[in-house]
Structure 1
Amino acid sequence: MQSLAGKHCFISGGSRGIGLAIARLFAAQGAGCTLIGRDEDTLLSAANSLHRQEGSSQQHYTTAFDVSTQNGWEKLISDSKLQTCDILVNAAGVSQNSFLFNTSRLDVTEIIATNLTGTIWGCKHFIPKMMKQRKGKLITRCIINVASLLATHGGRGASVYAASKAGVVGLTRSLAWEVGRFGIRANVLLPGYIQTDMTKGSAGMDRKNELSALIPLGRLGLVEEVATAALFLAQNSYAHNCVLNIDGGLSAT
C-alpha cells in the first residue's frame, strides 16, 4: 500500500460533498490537495478545513473554473506553479430531478457537460502530465472518477444524470486499458444514496425513510465512507479498472 505523504492530489468538486470528504481524508494522510470548483470563496473555505502537517512540504491550493470548459483545464495544466500530480479525482457533478420529457435543453447540456465532458477534459489534460512523471514500475499515478450507482441501475427522474455517469464508467474502463502500461491506474467509484447537498436536492430528504427502506443496510451512506473507498483505490498499487460500489447493498436488490 502506497503512502500518500508527499503526494499531491487534484480534486474537482473539492469544495463540498464527496469531493471535500476525499480531500480531507487524503490531507490527513499527508497529501497536498488542489481543490477545483466554480466558486473561489467556497474553495478557500474548504481548503482552510484541510489538515496540514507541521514541518512537512504539504501545501493546499485552490483554482476556480467551470470543469466543463476545456480552457479551464488547459490553463491549470500550463500554470507554472502546478504541483506534481500523483492523484486526479474527478468528483464534480450536478444532479437531476425531472423526467426526461420535462428536462430543459439547458439542463441536459449542463448535466452532460459537467458530469461527463468535465471528467473527460480532466483526464485528457492530466494523463500526459502523469506519463512524464513515471519513476519506475512500482511508482504509479492514479485517476479516480466518481460516477454513481445510477450508471448501472438507472433511477426515476435521473435519466440524463444516469447517462452521464454511465459514460464516466465507460470512460474509466477504456482508460484503464490505455494508460496502465504508463504506470497510471484508473478506477471508478459508484456511490449509492449518500447524504450530501446533491442528494437533498435530487431525492428530497422527506424521502429519506423511503430510500433507506430500499437499502439492505437500512440507511443512506456518508461522504466519509465514500472517501475511505477512494483512499483504498489511491493506496493499492494493484487496484486498476475497479468499478467499486459503495451503496449499502442497494445494487443487490
Structure 2
Amino acid sequence: MRSLAGKHCIITGGSRGIGLAIARAFAAEGASCTLVGRDSATLAAAVQSLPSPSPSPSPYPNNDNPPPPPPETKPQHQSRAFDVSVLRGWEDMVAEMKSRQTPIDILVNSAGLSQNSLLIRTSPSAIERVLAANLSGAIWGCRAVIPRMMHQKSGCIINVSSLMAQHGGQGASIYAASKAGVVGLTRSLAWEVGRFGIRANVLLPGYIQTDMTKNMDGKGELSARIPLGRLGLVDEVAHAATFLAKNPYAHNCVLNIDGGMSAT
C-alpha cells in the first residue's frame, strides 16, 4: 500500500459530508488537501478542521545527515471557491497549481446535488442544475487534472457516485441518471488513462448519515430495508476512499458502500 504522506489531493464537495470526511481521512494519512466548494466561509472552516499535513518522506532514509529541505516546501491545506460545473474554475485552479509546481496526486469528485421530485414535476432548470453539479462537474474535473497527471506519470481519480446509479429510486430519476453517468465516465477513463500510470475508481455509497439525509422521512423504515439495519457513516465511506487511494493495483473498481442495499 502506498503512503499518502506528502501527497496533494483535490477534493470537491470538501466542505461537508462525505467530501470533508475523505479530506480528514487523507489529511490524517499525511496528505495536503485543496478543498473545493461554492462557499468561501464554509470551506475556510473545513480547512481549519483538518489535521496538519506531513511533508514528503525523505529520499535519504538511511542518511544521518540529509541535505536541508528547501524553504517553504511544507505542504498546507487550502481551499478554492468556485462552481465545479463551470470549466473555467477548474482551468484557473490547475493553471495556478502548475505555476507553483504543486502536484495533483489525487482528485476526488464528491460534489453533488440531490433530487426529491418526480420527473414530470421537476423543472427544466432543476434538471440542468443536478446534471451540471453531479456529472458535468466530475467530467470537467477529470478533464482538467488528467494532463497534469500524465506529465507526472501518476495519479488517482476517485469519483463518488451513488447506490442510485444501479438501484434507482422514486423521485430520483435525474440524480440516478447523473450518478450512472459518473460510473460510465470512470470506467471509460480507466481504459483511457491506465497506460499513463493514472488509476480511476468510483465509490457507490448507499444511504449515508449526511445533511442530505438528516431530515429525510421514513428513515426507520429505510434502515429496516438495509441488510445491515442502519444508515452508513461518512467515515466508513472515507475509509473506502483511502483504500482506493493507497492500493496501487486498485483500478476500475466500482465499490459499493451501502450496507448490502444493492443486493435487495
> Aligning the two structures, in what range does the TM-score lie when normalised by the shorter sequence?
over 0.9
Q: Distance in 2 between matches of 1:175 and 1:199?
A: 30
Give the unaligned 5+ runs of structure 1.
Answer: 135-139
User: CA separation of 1:149/1:52 partners in 2, compared to 1, >3 Å: closer, same or farther?
Assistant: same
Match of 1:78 in 2: 95
Q: Distance in 2 between matches of 1:115 and 1:55?
A: 33
Contact 1:131–1:182 at 8 Å: present in 2 too?
Answer: yes
Give the unaligned 5+ runs of structure 2.
Answer: 57-73
Q: Distance in 2 between matches of 1:207 and 1:88?
A: 34
Q: Which of residues 165, 182, 185 is equivalent to 1:151?
A: 165
Q: Distance in 2 between matches of 1:53 and 1:34?
A: 11
Contact 2:226–2:261 at 8 Å: present in 1 too?
Answer: yes
AA matched with 1:188: V
> Aligned-pair distance for 1:58?
3.1
> Aligned-pair distance for 1:235?
0.2
**Which structure is larger by alpha-carbon Rg, 1 or 2?**
2
Contact 1:146–1:189 at 8 Å: present in 2 too?
Answer: yes
> Aligned-pair distance for 1:238?
0.1
Deviation per CA, 1:185-239, whole angstroms, max 9, x where unpaired?
Answer: 00000000000011235xx1x3110110110000000000000000000000000
Match of 2:128 in 1: 109
Deviation per CA, 1:128-182, whole angstroms, max 9, x where unpaired?
Answer: 0100012xxxxx4100000000000101110000000000000000000000000
User: CA separation of 1:154/1:5 partners in 2, compared to 1, >3 Å: closer, same or farther?
Assistant: same
User: CA separation of 1:25/1:101 partners in 2, compared to 1, >3 Å: closer, same or farther?
Assistant: same
RMSD in angstroms over aligned alpha carbons? 1.2
Matches for 1:132-143 after TM superposition, within 5 Å? 132-134=151-153, 140-143=154-157
AA matched with 2:181: G
> Aligned-pair distance for 1:86?
0.5
Q: Distance in 1 between matches of 2:54 and 2:6?
A: 13
SS at match of 2:241: helix
SS at match of 1:67: coil
1:123 aligns with 2:137: no
AA matched with 1:251: S
Contact 1:153–1:251 at 8 Å: present in 2 too?
Answer: yes
Match of 2:223 in 1: 212
SS at match of 2:33: strand
Q: Distance in 1 between matches of 2:32 and 2:94?
A: 17
Q: Distance in 1 between matches of 2:167 and 2:126?
A: 21
User: CA separation of 1:93/1:54 partners in 2, compared to 1, >3 Å: closer, same or farther?
Assistant: closer
Q: Which of residues 178, 190, 212 is equivalent to 1:198?
A: 212
SS at match of 1:66: coil
Q: Distance in 2 between matches of 1:187 and 1:92?
A: 16
User: CA separation of 1:60/1:219 partners in 2, compared to 1, >3 Å: closer, same or farther?
Assistant: same
Q: Distance in 2 between matches of 1:47 and 1:81?
A: 20
Matches for 1:1-253 after TM superposition, within 5 Å? 1-53=1-53, 57-79=74-96, 80-81=99-100, 83-134=102-153, 140-200=154-214, 204=216, 206-253=217-264
Deviation per CA, 1:44-96, whole angstroms, max 9, x where unpaired?
Answer: 00000000057772310100000000111111111134621100000000000
Contact 1:190–1:245 at 8 Å: present in 2 too?
Answer: yes
- Normalising to structure 2: TM-score of the pair? 0.91
Q: Distance in 2 between matches of 1:173 and 1:22?
A: 21
Q: How many residues align?
A: 245
